[in-house]
Structure 1
Amino acid sequence: MIRVLIADDQALVRGALAAMLDLEPDITVVAQVARGDDILPAARASEPDVAMIDVQMPGTDGLTAAGRLHRALPGCRILVCTTFGRPGYLARAMAAGATGFIVKDATPEELAEAVRKVAKGIRVVDPALATESLVHGVNPLTAREREVLRAIDEGRTIGEAAGLLHLSEGTVRNHLSSAIGKTGTRGRNEAAVVARERGWL
Structure 2
Amino acid sequence: MTRVYLADAKLEERSALRVLLLDLKMEVVGEAADWPTTLAEAPVNRTDMLLIDWDLLPNSPTAALNELRKACPAALVIILISHLDARQQAALSAGADAFISKDETPDRVAERLRLAAASVRTV
**TM-score, with normalisation over the residues of structure 1?**
0.53
Deviating above 6 A after TM superposition, structure 1's stretches of 4 or more consecutive aligned residues are none
Q: Does residue 104 in structure 1 map to residue 86 in structure 2?
A: no
Inter-partner Cα distance in structure 2 for 1:47 and 1:61? 26
C-alpha offsets along residues 8-44 of structure 1, whole Å, 9 cap, x if unaligned?
A: 001111111111211123x111111000122121111
Structure with the larger strand share: 2
* Equivalences, count: 118
Q: What SS is found at the alignment partner of 1:85?
A: coil
1:22/1:56 CA distance change after superposition, 3 Å: same
Aligned: 1:42 with 2:26:
no
What is the percentage of aligned positions where both structures have the same residue? 31
Higher relative contact order (CA 8 A, sep 6+): 2
CA distance in 2: counterparts of 1:62 and 1:23, whole angstroms: 34
Question: Within 1, Cα distance between the matches of 2:103 and 2:115?
Answer: 18
CA distance in 1, matches of 2:48, 2:34: 19
SS in 1 for 2:56: coil
> Deviations along 1:145-187, whole A, 9 cap, x unmatched?
xxxxxxxxxxxxxxxxxxxxxxxxxxxxxxxxxxxxxxxxxxx
CA separation of 1:16 and 1:97: change in aligned 2, threshold 3 A: same
Structure with bigger gyration radius: 1
Task: List alignment gaps of at least 5 residues for structure 2.
Answer: none
